[in-house]
Structure 1
Amino acid sequence: MTTTNWWRGAVIYQIYPRSFLDTNGDGVGDLPGIVRKLDYIASLGVDAIWISPFFKSPMADFGYDIADYRDVDPLFGTVDDFDRLLAKAHSLGIKVMIDQVLSHCSAEHPWFKESRESRDNAKADWYVWADPKEDGTPPNNWMSLFGGVAWRWEPRREQYYLHNFLASQPDLNFHNPAVRQATLDNVKFWLDKGVDGLRLDAINFCFHDAQLRDNPPKPKEMRVGRGFSPDNPYAYQYHYYNNTQPENLGFLEDLRRLLDRYPDAAALGEISSEDSLATTAEYVGDQRLHMGYSFELLTDDFSATYIRGTVEKLEAAMTHGWPCWAVSNHDVQRAVTRWGNGDTAHDFASQLVALVCSLRGSVCLYQGEELGLPEADVPFEALQDPYGKVFWPKFKGRDGCRTPMPWSGEDTAGFSDGPSWLPIPDAHRAISVAAQEPDPHSVLNVVRSFLAWRKRHPALQHGRIVFFDAPEPVLALRRDTEDESLLAVFNLSAQAVEWALPEGLIVQTLEDHGLFSGVLVDRSVHLPARSVLYARIG
């Protein structure tokens, strides 16, 4: 596989549009706001942007419930605004990826409104409908990720419909060829506009088990991880039948054939299954998705052993494909809070960016990571996320990572002229873009320096990866191309450590990368707290 594709080793900057910049004073970010800040994004040195959904939607799940796949919601602007965004991004050398939510849509979508009316209309079989059991209960035991059973009664049809997420997000029936074709047609609409790639939300949820078999129970000690609250009854099952069905592979191949008609367009799949790494390996390759990422580095486990084990497991399974890694996004607690145990210092935030950018694969950086933003504490009365409202107070939802970007230290943080849709904490205003710009040692400027430095080293962009044996809290790895071999060593703790170089390994120091760095002394690497050392091997 060649290394010439733009997406291979790319740094992709995720924009959550309603929290990026508001230009019309309604408290919600919009597409013109993204256009206004594209020069800032270009200054970071990223290769692409991924824009979370901006399509027409009732916003029950803030855009991940789409009512019209081909139109922009007025909250965010117009199709013309998107065209201007695309043109300016391309003029700056930035690729544009858009979110595509294919497995489900909004209950306000015309397809669903027609489907629910009767059992014999033209869209009758476009969603997952099922008769009740004899006692009137749902057809099986499937649970919704957002809490409760995954079936909602529809009196017009006297049937249940499936919703793996909110009840207002009915699942499309991908067993129906007409649904698959309509989905591909919607994707083609945006590819024809010139988008460079797709981020595919919950892509392993497109198909369900046609026999509607019950999911088996999961033992209590196994109800952990995978991005949802451990007190969520969704965690009580092995989700063998409501997602990740073998028929999905054929659809991915159809999607890839469509993408291959557009020069260098790429697809990144979000994958959350019972064995997400195995599913990622299966879904990614020459005939399926270009890249895949899962929730494995979006969990609470922050140790060198866990990170190494996760990457090595995927490397062993996906010898033919290309991974993508992220440590933060719009669905999980921000990494500096989740992994920092209260340590949100400058060096830790910078180190996390360097760490994820040193793994083999492409990278998604979430807006605000370049500032070292910690998780915001959103009080219940200000909460917007339906997921958080259901599971409060044990799980506070996703609003804490979705608060608006702090552009300045003003009351509204330069985000809006009026009250914002979520509150902006004082701690974020104190480390705003404006506050960090003049400081060459700020997280923002260190990240800029590091990303520029990374571009000069092909080994970090698309080289092979091998880990060295090292005790906690040291993560040590090498990246190799035919022309370059680099050593990367991370001290993941808040205390200084030393690591002896492996026997026979010859290294030389590299030019400055801007990060808080360890030093080489004889055959030992001295690593201050939260530091990084890069060296040339040979």
Structure 2
Amino acid sequence: MSTALAPQTEIAIDKNWWRGAVIYQIYPRSYQDSNGDGVGDLLGIVQRLPYIASLGVDAIWISPFFTSPMKDFGYDVSDYCDVDPMFGTLADFDAVVETAHRLGVRVMIDLVLSHTSDQHPWFAESRADKTNAKSNWYVWSDPKPDGTPPNNWLSIFGGSAWHWDARREQYYLHNFLTSQPDLNFHEPAVQDALLDVARFWLNRGCDGFRLDTINFYMHDQQLRNNPPLAPERRNATIAPSVNPYNHQEHLYDKNQPENFDFLRKLRAVMEPFGAAAVGEVGDAQRGLEIMGEYTAGNDLMQMCYAFEFLAKDQPTAARIADVMAQVDKVAADGWACWAFSNHDVVRHASRWDLPPAAQRMFATLIMCLRGSVCLYQGEELGLPEANVPFEALQDPYGIEFWPEFKGRDGCRTPMVWDPSNQNGGFSEHQPWLPVASEHLQLSVGAQEDDPAALLHHYRRATAFRRNHPALSVGEHDGLRATGDVVFFTRIHENQTIFCAFNVSETPSDFDMPAGEWTPIGAELGGAHVSADGRLHLGPWQVCLALKT
């Protein structure tokens, strides 16, 4: 495959590098195995960084690789300041940073601050008794007089969010697995320790963080019950119907106002390094509003990760316009980071049942929206969701709710590099999850020599965005929809670009706005504008035009 790059200068300090950035998410277990054990690792990422740089992305986000018992595949951390041997060593992380920076790519890591593993030394000390130095580092509570948990809070992974601990004869809070106890952010020493974790990685050259479940850090100190959520409002992205977690309005177990003070402290730690953060807001009802709150001004987070386009149903033109209008309303002073796929949801090629032309259209659309962009590994290849049989499942979420919800393993199967063997060039050993046979024909090697392949469309789309500041950092004039067409104008300084997208397989006619427009983006399949300003958009077609 051809991924050679011309030498680039090392990254310069730019505190605004994140604005409009395209960030490529790597799930390290499934990217590239360098030592033949069937699990991806950091040196595998080093091996594939030239390919990543060839995509034209600005940064990578690496999902957790810290020391962990892997009950939730790294989102249960037992040592924040070391690399799990499964993934390599700290020296291997340094090699990732050095290689990425040499190729002009920044490195963001996935910090999981809301909870640790129950095997973390902090928790071992905290649970020992009620008087030790870390006794208040986690969220402990006495039972009700009848021995039941202190309130009705639920775990995302099913059941009560409280687990009884016989050592302290108290319950501890866990928003996720019972083996993932929640840290008590109301304890100043906890905040200080986590800020030191951020400093550790920044000093190793990390350029920023993806902050897992950023709105879960603080809980209501009065431990008040959550009220019920009306059935018509149950719109969670993951398992909305089978998970009782979605039956509550989460007023008290997350989204607390005290969180702002911690986020300001974290921003102050990042600022001297020119680092940036994107926070994952886990809230189906108030996600955009919280995004606006957490990214407002210059002393909180730079970006928040929005879930609106990770939903089950393909977004219509009207839905896209509505989402962006909501952002303009509740986050006008903030900055979104958009994604169609990630490691937690069904890949959007399958979730929305997209033909190839539609995948190209959506790839172009996300590059034209105001905000930054996250691409998930394999998205650029058009990988569909893999069908992982129950006996091969690894995800505790899927095992718990099978078969109504099959979990997240279908989007976490190994990256496919080469169609010549069943492992897709990922590993010489049997991979930790099976490689889907239908993925092999979509591998990097299979697409590199085909100019019409989706991989090259993604490269063209990222380059187009980078070459037009109006798309990467500009404002927009508000999104509007007419029928199946969503349209808007992006503006930056003296550059104005009109964008229209036919979000359907039905052709649409459309009148261009007044003014002189020169069609651009022919390499992205842009439509032709007639002499009278009439635009004919074929199925899934786009129009991009520069005001002259």
Q: If the TM-score is normalised by the length of the shorter chain, which range does it land in? A: over 0.9
Q: Give the aligned residue type for 2:456.
A: N
Q: 1:285-324 to 2 correspondence within 5 Å?
A: 285-301=297-313, 302-324=315-337
Cα distance in 2 for residues equivalent to 1:161 and 1:505: 63
Q: 1:238-387 to 2 correspondence within 5 Å?
A: 238-262=249-273, 264-273=274-283, 274-284=285-295, 285-301=297-313, 302-340=315-353, 343=354, 345-387=355-397
Q: Give the aligned residue type for 2:128.
A: E
Q: List per-residue Cα deviations over 1:336-374 (Å, max 9, x = no partner).
A: 11122xx3x322222222111111111111101111111
Aligned to 1:398: 408
Q: List per-residue Cα deviations over 1:260-317 (Å, max 9, x = no partner).
A: 121x211111112331111111101301001111211111231111111111111222
Q: Give the aligned residue type for 1:251.
A: F
1:468 is displaced (CA, Å) by: 5.1
Q: 1:171-182 to 2 correspondence within 5 Å?
A: 171-182=182-193
Contact 1:145–1:165 (8 Å) recurs in 2: yes
Cα distance in 2 for residues equivalent to 1:51 and 1:312: 31
**Partner-residue secondary structure (3-state), 1:152:** strand
Matched, 1:533 2:546: no
Contact 1:347–1:515 (8 Å) recurs in 2: no
Aligned to 1:520: 529
Aligned to 1:151: 162
Task: Point out the more displaced range, 171-180 or 329-338.
Answer: 329-338
Q: Give the aligned residue type for 1:168.
A: S
Aligned to 1:82: 93
1:510 is displaced (CA, Å) by: 1.5
Contact 2:318–2:480 (8 Å) recurs in 1: no
1:404 is displaced (CA, Å) by: 0.5
62 and 347 in structure 1: CA distance in 2 versus 1, 3 angstrom threshold: same
Matched residues, number: 530
Contact 2:239–2:405 (8 Å) recurs in 1: no
**Partner-residue secondary structure (3-state), 1:357:** helix
Matched, 1:185 2:188: no
1:226 is displaced (CA, Å) by: 3.9
Contact 2:349–2:383 (8 Å) recurs in 1: yes
Q: Give the aligned residue type for 1:271.
A: V
Task: Point out the more displaced range, 462-471 or 17-26.
Answer: 462-471
Task: Point out the more displaced range, 202-211 or 215-224.
Answer: 215-224
Aligned to 2:442: 431
Contact 2:367–2:461 (8 Å) recurs in 1: no
Q: List per-residue Cα deviations over 1:122-172 (Å, max 9, x = no partner).
A: 111100000001111000000001111101100011100000011110000
1:469 is displaced (CA, Å) by: 3.5
Cα distance in 2 for residues equivalent to 1:481 and 1:316: 21
1:325 is displaced (CA, Å) by: 0.9
Cα distance in 1 for residues equivalent to 2:479 and 2:86: 50
Aligned to 1:492: 503
Cα distance in 2 for residues equivalent to 1:180 and 1:492: 45
Q: Give the aligned residue type for 2:383.
A: L
Aligned to 1:235: 246
Cα distance in 2 for residues equivalent to 1:398 and 1:347: 26
Cα distance in 2 for residues equivalent to 1:51 and 1:106: 19
**Partner-residue secondary structure (3-state), 2:361:** helix
Matched, 1:115 2:126: yes
Q: What percentage of aligned pairs have identical amino acids?
A: 53
Cα distance in 2 for residues equivalent to 1:52 and 1:468: 32
Q: Give the aligned residue type for 2:278.
A: L
Contact 2:324–2:479 (8 Å) recurs in 1: no
**Partner-residue secondary structure (3-state), 1:141:** coil
Cα distance in 2 for residues equivalent to 1:70 and 1:146: 27
1:516 is displaced (CA, Å) by: 2.8
Runs of 4+ with deviation above 6 angstroms: none
TM-score, structure 2 normalization: 0.95
Aligned to 1:56: 67
Aligned to 1:164: 175
1:452 is displaced (CA, Å) by: 1.4
Matched, 1:204 2:221: no
**Partner-residue secondary structure (3-state), 2:488:** strand
1:221 is displaced (CA, Å) by: 1.8
Aligned to 2:10: none
TM-score, structure 1 normalization: 0.96
Cα distance in 1 for residues equivalent to 2:230 and 2:19: 39
Decide which of 466, 471, 474 is 1:463's aligned counterpart: 474
In structure 1, stretches of 5+ residues that fail to align are none
Decide which of 421, 424, 433 is 2:432's aligned counterpart: 421
RMSD: 1.3
Q: Give the aligned residue type for 2:343.
A: H
Q: Give the aligned residue type for 2:78.
A: A
**Partner-residue secondary structure (3-state), 1:40:** helix
Matched, 1:472 2:483: yes
1:472 is displaced (CA, Å) by: 2.9
Task: Point out the more displaced range, 321-330 or 92-101.
Answer: 321-330
Q: List per-residue Cα deviations over 1:501-523 (Å, max 9, x = no partner).
A: 24x244221153x2233221232
1:417 is displaced (CA, Å) by: 0.2
1:4 is displaced (CA, Å) by: 7.0
**Partner-residue secondary structure (3-state), 1:99:** strand
1:219 is displaced (CA, Å) by: 1.4
Task: Point out the more displaced range, 355-364 or 171-180.
Answer: 355-364
Q: Give the aligned residue type for 2:337.
A: C
Task: Point out the more displaced range, 124-133 or 291-300.
Answer: 291-300
Cα distance in 2 for residues equivalent to 1:525 and 1:388: 46
Cα distance in 2 for residues equivalent to 1:498 and 1:470: 13
Q: Give the aligned residue type for 2:390.
A: F
**Partner-residue secondary structure (3-state), 1:261:** helix
Cα distance in 1 for residues equivalent to 2:167 and 2:479: 62
Task: Point out the more displaced range, 487-496 or 408-417.
Answer: 487-496
Q: List per-residue Cα deviations over 1:35-54 (Å, max 9, x = no partner).
A: 00000001100010000000
